[in-house]
Chains A and B, each alone.
Chain A
Amino acid sequence: MFNGFSQSVMGASHEKTGLVCQDSSAFKVSDSYAIAVVADGHGSKKHFRSHIGSKYAVESTIEAIDRFYEDTEEFEANFPKYHKMILRNIEKQIIANWNSKVAKHLEENPVTDEEKSKFTDEEFEKIQPESYYGSTLIAAIAGRNFTFGVQIGDGTLVALFEDGKAVMPMEYNESAPANVTASICNSNAATMFSSFYTDQKKMIALFVSTDGLYTSFGSEYDFLDYHTIITSQLVNLEAFKQIIVNNLTKRSRFGTEDDISLSCVFDEPLLNDSIGLIKQRVEENKQEAADRKAESLRKRV
């Protein structure tokens, strides 16, 4: 029923500076659910193991969802009724998994002299060990009767429901402190999640991406239209996989030079039934983009 793909490409700026890719991405599909997830390691000086932290964020999320789906029937029955509470529990489980992986890694791989050499002793003492691994996280999950997503930090979730329109359904957590970048490494990370849930619409495709993709677009319209075009290509998934590597590489090289990750899951039978509608949307979007451009170039004085 479900299928998907995921891809990470290294940012042009990271190639220049010799940094490893800080992003991680994955998808997983089963009979009852599908999950797409990406994570963007912070990459700055004090987050010197964030490429590992982003990998753990992705793994922790998949493992948490797997665990909640261990009893599929019970989960599917309870989630629509108690989705707010269950979402909070999923978020806590993700953080617990991540903290446990980080603690284990740090125990097995103590900070090296080389890693410490970039800091004074006083500076190094001030850094919380979890911060070495700091990362964002964004995941989209499709069940048989509902769709939901969780997010901490930057990144974008795009959904195409049965009407064929690309939307960003995430409801942002306004209570998170505005001047603090939300990260899975924050001590109060479990309270910094944003999320969304719906059981009202059937999803055709769900996408999550790291910030490097969003910032390679000149407008949000273009960003959403891009996802509609991708959806129109998913009927030939194998051929599309090379296209998406090329396109993400181009976007990183000529865009903001950041790492880019994109992960997607989709409902294959519903996509096949809706492909005519999706292609029609692609054409409508092109016309609307041309109309918007013509309107913006009209002089007002």
Chain B
Amino acid sequence: MSSLPNDFLFNVEMNDSVISLSSISSDSVSSESSTSISDNFLTINENDLNEDILRKEIEKCNQMIRTTKECSQERMRLVRRLVELRFKLEMVTEIKALENKNQLIETKVIFGHHLSFVWKPNWLENKICDVCAKTIWKYMHQLYECSDCGYYCHIFCLDKIKRVCTAVLASEHSMILTITPSNGLLSQDYKCAECQSYIRIRNTKLSSEDTLSLEARLCDYDGKFYCPLHHWNNTALIPARVLCNWQFEKKCVSQASFQLLNYNYKSKMYNLEKHNPKLFTYLESLNKIKNIKNSLVKMKKYLVLCKVWNAQLKNVSSRCHELLYDSVLYSMKDMVEIHSGLFLEDLQRVYDICEKHIRYECEICKNQGYICELCQKDTIIFPFDEDAHSCDKCDNVYHYQCWKNRDFCPKCKRIKERSRLQEV
């Protein structure tokens, strides 16, 4: 298997040259007589696609090419033949691989990764192997991909995997929320945190390739040092920096951290209010978001019960749906959007849609508003109104000012009285 990629590489190169050669020769071929030796020597039964025969045939063809004159018609023809033979060999091996498909299709479980064989890579760029940090040329190399975390590696790097699957790490460990908790290189015994190979602080005066491969690189996320093989100077947003300092500067992280941070980018796991309540006093937008979210929770009571809303739910954008069912937890993506102002914009839009439905459009929702029984004004008020106060016990809603003057809930009083009467 391992020899195959090299063959194939040669194959591809030859292919290119042959196309140009054959296009030149095409007009002159017909004029020459068909007395060429290649037709006599290189004959194999097209149906008998045996790997060994093909290999022998290729060898023979190779030798024959060397005996021919440079740039001669004969050589061109032989080269074309060689390419054809190599293609045929490739076909045979592929068919053979397909026969062993079941073995390949089986997902391999290594360090929590669920690695499956990628048959036809259809991405535009070549991936980089997470084990050896070298390019996986998509036309040459066969590769495995982890279906959980998107870890890629060469088929021949499979045995050298050391990193635990990010999906497993993410589910078993909580995120580090202190900024770069570094203990220095000494605490790691001058070894890479992932592969245990020796590393050192790079001396810029000695800029040889040798030191580069031993360079100790600090991961800003977990504060550990890594070797260049496991720290590619990729940058990512650091949750701790965002939560503590509202700092949105990307920092260099190790490959393991990079994958973890990307994996968790969209998961809502940060309770801003719990972790850094001061943010709400310093950031006006965050405070606004909090208020709108509180209102939406109260609106949801109406929307969940409303058959009109539920019937038109399909027309509501998924973003609206997502924001409506948002909790107090935020993802890194949310925080980036809060920083850019996009989040508040979207949230405000959702609020407007919901308010329009409840307050103006829906006959059922509108009629399930409240009338302040303390002032008896005819205007309908809703729990999510700014000047409304909901009773904690009976949910009845009053104007905040009316309630403040009274300071007790008349409905609760009635309920209490009624239950007392029933007991009697």
Chain B binds chain A: no
